[in-house]
Structure 1
Amino acid sequence: MSRATYHHGALREELITASIALIESDGIGAVSLRRVAREAGVSPGAPYHHFEDRAALLNAVAARGYAALLEEARAAHAAAGSPVEAIGAMVETYVRFSRAHPAYAQLMYRPELSEPAKDPATEALAQAAIQLLTETVLACQASGGAPAGDPAPLVTMIWSICAGLAMLSVDGPLEQMTAARGSTIPELTGQVSALLQVMLVGSAA
């Protein structure tokens, strides 16, 4: 698509897509408005019509990631047979999504770069994922599948497992560890998910 044929919204999406490609090929450090403009084939000033600075561009990438992750997490939740199984499914979803979309993952777990708090829409998407997990924990507690009481510690623990496994898989250490033991990341994630479900039910007994 040439510069002359870009529509207003199309250029914005093209800049986001170019940013994702840059992050996946060269890392977050490679992303600048000038570099992204060059990758998209537009003038250096064109991105400023859509993004005031680099953080705003990275924020837009993160927002797309939050929306995509939330969609997959909701689907996994809906397909689960019980609230406890839904928690296990969400752990596996976080890792699978992050491995499939490393550019999104690197920004979603590094808010100092994308500054989602500055954009109400992005912040709402980020919080929606936590809210889904919170609602699932509450359902587990109500069904006797998790210890009763304040859900916040349990939500924090499960979220930490999701984010920790996701970033370890994206950054490489988990790949090395699983390879050394003749396993794979999906296999290990499934084992962690199963263990977490057993621990939740057992601690509620």
Structure 2
Amino acid sequence: MKRTSYHHGALRDALLAACLRLIETEGLAAVSLRRVAREAGVSTAAPYHHFPDRAALLATLSTQGFQLLGEQLAAARADAATPMAALTALADTYVRFSREQPAYFRLMFRPELSQPDKHPDAMAAGDAAFAVLADAIAECVRAGTLPTDKADTLAVMFWGLGHGLASLWLDGQLEKRAGQFGATASDLVDDVMRTFAALIEPSAPPLT
């Protein structure tokens, strides 16, 4: 049955929620404006009032995902006791986000949505989320715990490590490997990030 009670703003939100549900349950390939309309219980013409095409719908969701991730990263950094602890907290938050928001995570890094000329809002939101990590690295540099000339490199290294762990966990591979080590995936992620932080911190004692 078609729903006709959505007002203008609510229709947009309903379409975005329906699209997210489709990605979660059936994958990105299932998404079309017609299918999203059916999932939301509206006419097939309704999505076009807000989104000219499928890419625009997905880019809007990607923007939302990065905004949500950025908020969570900022909160994790603010709660950390030290600059280096903030880096570990950011990595933990990034990995947890992928577990709690798998539809967003699978969508946000799609190459077709990472084109600033076509989807500037998504790119800006992604840059803002990355800036939380970059600022945390800069704080470590100011505190003397990380080398000044490697700040940009270390930001990408932390991002790459966190993203790799998140992807492995989301795909079920990390839990499998953790089980072979007699650990949980969560404990393994924590140990990996703390080990990495200790290795790159000049003043850190040797690992034992």
On whether the aligned pair clears a TM of 0.5, the verdict is yes
Check if 1:88 corresponds to 2:88: yes
Deviant stretches of 4+, over 4 Å: none
Supply the distance in 2 between the matched residues of 1:133 and 1:86 (Cα, whole angstroms).
9
Aligned match of 1:43: 43
Contact 1:12 1:50 in 2 (8 A): yes
Q: CA, structure 1 residues 122+105, in 2 after alignment: closer, same or farther (shift >3 Å)?
A: same
Partner deviation per Cα, 1:73-122 (whole Å, 9 max, x = no partner): 0010001111111111000000001101100110112232x346223322
More helix, by proportion: 1
Q: CA, structure 1 residues 116+99, in 2 after alignment: closer, same or farther (shift >3 Å)?
A: farther
Equivalent pairs, count: 204
Check if 1:21 corresponds to 2:27: no
Supply the distance in 2 between the matched residues of 1:204 and 1:60 (Cα, whole angstroms).
43
Q: CA, structure 1 residues 204+178, in 2 after alignment: closer, same or farther (shift >3 Å)?
A: closer
Per-residue deviation, 1:19? 0.9
Partner deviation per Cα, 1:5-62 (whole Å, 9 max, x = no partner): 1111111111111111111111111111111100001111111111111111111111
Q: In terms of mean alpha carbon deviation, does 166-175 or 86-95 score higher?
A: 166-175
Question: Whose relative contact order is higher, 1 or 2, with alpha carbons under 8 Å and at least 6 apart?
Answer: 1
Contact 2:33 2:44 in 1 (8 A): yes
Aligned match of 1:185: 185
Q: In terms of mean alpha carbon deviation, does 194-203 or 60-69 score higher?
A: 194-203
Per-residue deviation, 1:2? 5.8
Percent of pairs with identical residues: 45
For structure 2, the residue ranges without an aligned partner over 5 or more in a row are none
For structure 1, the residue ranges without an aligned partner over 5 or more in a row are none
Partner deviation per Cα, 1:122-149 (whole Å, 9 max, x = no partner): 2211001111111111111111111221
Contact 1:89 1:193 in 2 (8 A): no
